[in-house]
């Protein structure tokens, strides 16, 4: 099983790239979805309340909107959240790797903070989906789930794309059409799987 981590800043198109790989037969590990599940662990909730206060819990569950507002307000808060949640995400990914160790194919982690978290050491390859800042802001605005100032604030907390370019095994430019992105993803899949 070949393992890759796909990353990219907010609005870069990494989830679209991962969806294409899924269509090609890759197994996708969505780190954000797993992290949301981990937020419901009672031990994790206790640590989050210690760090961010009891009002992040509503009806026995973490209010992800409130937590996100606090966590993305500063680098320190983001680091605190990541230090609580990331070890569990890595543990689940490693468990999946072990389960699939003797199988052929491609296992992909879709995660925005691959380099920031140090999880890149767990992959055979890393892939950066790269887009210009202007395009990324436009795409994130179209989703309609975050106001512009929060989008910019989150982008500010992520490692600069130029630094990620230096670290990634592969860089796929996503400044054009979805069709172009799919062509590039198909080439990457063929390179990695040998088809």
Q: What is the secondary structure of 115-147 as a DSSP string?
A: HHHTGGGGSSEEEEEE--HHHHHHHHHHH-SS-
φ, ψ of residue 177 to 5 degrees: the values are: -80, 165
Q: Rounded to a whole number, what is the distance in angstroms from the first to the last CA of the chain? A: 14
Is residue 41 a part of any domain in this protein? yes
Q: How far apart are CA 156 and CA 69, in angstroms?
A: 14
Spatial strand order of the sheet with 125-130 comes to: 27-30, 106-110, 2-7, 125-130, 170-173
Is residue 9 a part of any domain in this protein? yes
CATH number at residue 177: 3.40.50.300
φ, ψ of residue 2 to 5 degrees: the values are: -85, 130
> In 10 A of CB 48, how many CB atoms?
23
> In 10 A of CB 58, how many CB atoms?
10
Is residue 19 a part of any domain in this protein? yes
Q: Which helix (H) or strand (E) holds 6?
A: strand 2-7
Identify which of 24, 195, 10, 9 has the alpha carbon closest to the alpha carbon of residue 108. Answer: 24
Is residue 195 a part of any domain in this protein? no
φ, ψ of residue 11 to 5 degrees: the values are: 80, 10
| Domain limits for position 132 | 2-189
Identify which of 51, 75, 37, 47 has the alpha carbon closest to the alpha carbon of residue 157. Answer: 75
Is residue 176 a part of any domain in this protein? yes
Is residue 114 a part of any domain in this protein? yes
Counting the structural domains of the chain, the total is: 1
pLDDT by residue, tens only, the chain of 195 residues: 999 999 998 889 999 999 999 999 999 999 999 999 999 999 999 999 999 999 999 988 999 889 988 988 888 998 899 999 999 999 999 999 999 989 999 999 999 889 988 889 989 999 999 999 899 888 888 887 777 888 787 777 778 888 999 999 999 999 999 999 999 999 999 999 875
Is residue 194 a part of any domain in this protein? no
Q: Give the max Cα distance, the chain.
A: 52
Is residue 71 a part of any domain in this protein? yes
């Amino acid at each position: 099983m070949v393992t890759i981590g796909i990353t990219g800043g907010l609005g870069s198109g990494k989830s679209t790239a991962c969806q294409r790989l899924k269509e090609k037969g890759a197994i996708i590990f969505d780190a954000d979805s797993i992290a949301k599940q981990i937020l419901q662990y009672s031990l994790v909730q206790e640590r989050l309340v210690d760090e961010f206060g009891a009002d992040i819990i509503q009806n026995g569950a973490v209010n992800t909107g409130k937590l996100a507002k606090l966590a993305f307000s500063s680098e320190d808060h983001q680091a605190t959240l990541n230090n609580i949640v990331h070890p569990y995400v890595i543990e689940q990914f490693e468990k999946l790797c072990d389960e699939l160790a003797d199988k052929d194919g491609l296992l992909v982690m879709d995660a925005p903070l691959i380099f920031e978290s140090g999880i890149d050491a767990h992959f055979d390859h890393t892939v950066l989906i790269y887009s210009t800042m202007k395009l990324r802001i436009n795409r994130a605005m179209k989703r309609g789930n975050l106001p512009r100032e929060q989008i910019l604030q989150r982008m500010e907390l992520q490692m600069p794309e130029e630094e990620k370019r230096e670290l990634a095994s592969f860089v796929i430019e996503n400044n054009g059409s979805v069709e172009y992105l799919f062509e590039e993803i198909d080439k990457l899949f063929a390179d990695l799987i040998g088809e």
